[in-house]
A and B are shown apart, each in its own frame.
Chain A
Amino acid sequence: MATTEGTTIIGESILISGSLAGDEDLTVRGRVEGTLTLTRTLVVEPTGQVKAEVQVKNCIIAGVVVGNVTATESVEITKEGRMVGDIAAPRVIIVDGASFRGRIDMGEVDVGGDRRPAVQARQAGPARPAARPAMMARPAPRLAASAAKVEEKPASVAAPRPMVPPAPVAMGAVKRKVLVKTKR
């Protein structure tokens, strides 16, 4: 019985469509569609599917998330996790095996000014052949590389897209930035 006080579980066969808000941890094994707002941690288990605008403190994705995730602390995509959408969080962890398509915004970069332009350039999305926001082709594996030693692995789930070859200069900047943010 894994249930503890202050934990909400959405079971495998359950579908919630609409808005969901709360001040406690939420574990999703079923489906949630709409908006999801929590002041604590959202865990999407491997059977879970979330198609929603998500606003939480922490988010751990081991299932499927489609939609934008805003976290005040961290977002982690585990090796089983699949996500399409944008992430805004000061800490973002993407491990090897995870698949992700979307943008990542770690917020203000309050270190040396020379890194800021690189970040902005990345967010602004320099004109690239990929017509969709496939920004993560580059940063995702880099982030993973800093969290655990991994090698680049093409997303198996995300819609077919051209894998953009990494641009070495931007990559260096991204990696440095991630390390800084992780320490913070």
Chain B
Amino acid sequence: MAGIEKASAARSGAHTVIGSSIVIDGEISGDEDLVIQGTVKGRISLKESLFVEASGVIEADIETANVEVSGNVTGNIAASDRVELKADCKVVGDIRAPRILIADGAVFKGNVDMDVKEAKGK
């Protein structure tokens, strides 16, 4: 737990934090790391990393480089680099990324596609 808090504190140095009481309905796009502790519905597209913390609830399609999920995500995830589902996260939707990590305790329902590069080649 202390480790999680530490990681969380380190991340709060990130430029953008969506706090736990915030609800966003719409589209988020940007070129920087995004930490979500609140609720986002719609679409998220980033060129950097997305962190969905334990209190975070996402009902959106996600398109980023990295995704780290500790909270709830409903929607499709497409990452150009990596998707990590941490313990205690809940994810429903399809994941497409060259590297996908699913930790013990994570709940996931959906398809996984790691053939991203091949798909690009086609």
Contact = CB atoms under 8 A, between A and B. Distances in A.
B15 A29 contact: yes
A55 B32 CA distance: 27
A17 B42 CA distance: 10
Contact of A3 (B17, B23, B31): B17
A23 B9 CA distance: 21
A151 interface: no
B13 A15 contact: no
B52 to A, nearest CB: 15
B21 interface: yes
B19 A24 contact: yes
Interface stretch (A5-13, A112-120, A152-160): A5-13
A14 B34 contact: yes
A30 B26 contact: no
Contacts of B14: 11
Contact of B26 (A3, A6, A34): A34
Nearest to A6: B19
A contact face: mostly helix, strand, loop, or mixed: strand
A1 B8 CA distance: 12
B93 to A, nearest CB: 20
B100 interface: no
A26 interface: yes
B30 interface: yes
Interface in B24-81: 24-34, 38, 42
Most buried by B among A8, A20, A22: A8
A54 to B, nearest CB: 15
Nearest to A36: B24
B26 A8 contact: no
A182 interface: no
B31 A20 contact: no
A24 B20 CA distance: 8
28 contacts: A1-B9, A1-B13, A6-B19, A6-B21, A8-B17, A9-B16, A11-B14, A11-B16, A11-B32, A11-B33, A11-B34, A12-B32, A13-B32, A14-B28, A14-B34, A15-B28, A16-B26, A18-B24, A18-B27, A18-B42, A19-B24, A19-B26, A20-B26, A22-B22, A22-B38, A23-B21, A24-B20, A30-B30
Given A11-B34, A21-B23, 20 more contacts: A1-B9, A3-B12, A3-B13, A6-B19, A9-B16, A10-B16, A13-B30, A14-B28, A14-B32, A15-B29, A16-B26, A18-B24, A18-B25, A18-B42, A19-B26, A22-B38, A24-B20, A29-B15, A30-B16, A30-B30
9 closest A-B pairs by beta carbon, nearest first, are: A18-B26, A11-B15, A14-B30, A22-B22, A11-B16, A8-B19, A23-B21, A13-B31, A3-B12
Interface of A: 1, 3, 6-24, 26, 29-30, 34
